[in-house]
Amino acid sequence: MKLRRQTTSPDGFIIIAAEYNHGYTAVLKNALDYVAHEWRDKAVGFVGYGSALGSRAIEQLRGVVVELQMAPIRYAVHMPFEVVMAGNKGTPESELFSAFDERAGGMLDQLIAWSKALKTLRMPTNAA
């Protein structure tokens, strides 16, 4: 129930997906399926990480979110697993993530634009 409440009010989402065995995690699949209706008509961007920069997980997720009636945006941020591991070893975040600033900015710009546009689909219509 808590997940449903947390997904009702936002206009868009960023899914951070780890790639395991050429796909995304079972925990993420369960969350997407459990909250199916609340995702509808909302934009979604992706940040992926893993051996193939999370690209295979994100590719699978694009098809899943379309079936949930979400709008996946084109830009995504792909990170090598080494970046995530370096963060666990105490490397400053500014050093780790500065290489992703431009791509992340493009993703956020698209996410905001699509989120605003899709909000009109979720507005109740006036009864005539």
- The predicted-structure confidence for 108-128, as pLDDT tens digits, reads as follows 999 999 999 999 888 877 544
Q: Which residues pair with 43 in a beta bridge?
A: 12, 71
pLDDT value for 126: 54
Position 119, amino acid = K
pLDDT value for 128: 47
Q: How far apart are CA 76 and CA 65, in angstroms?
A: 14
Structural domains of the chain sorted by starting position, each given as residue range(s) with its CATH number in brackets: 2-122 (3.40.50.360)
Q: How far apart are CA 84 and CA 88, in angstroms?
A: 7
Helical H segments across the chain, by residue range? 2-8, 26-34, 55-67, 81-88, 93-97, 101-122
Q: 29-48, pLDDT tens digit by residue?
A: 999 999 888 899 999 999 99
Residue that the structure tokens 């098809």 belong to: 63
pLDDT value for 40: 93
Q: Is the dihedral of CA 105, 78, 10, 114 positive or negative?
A: positive
Angle at the Cα of 34 from the Cα atoms of 114 and 23, rounded to 5 degrees: 75
Q: pLDDT grade, residue 102 (50/70/90)?
A: very high
**Of residues 70 and 51, more confidently modeled:** 70
* pTM (predicted TM-score): 0.87
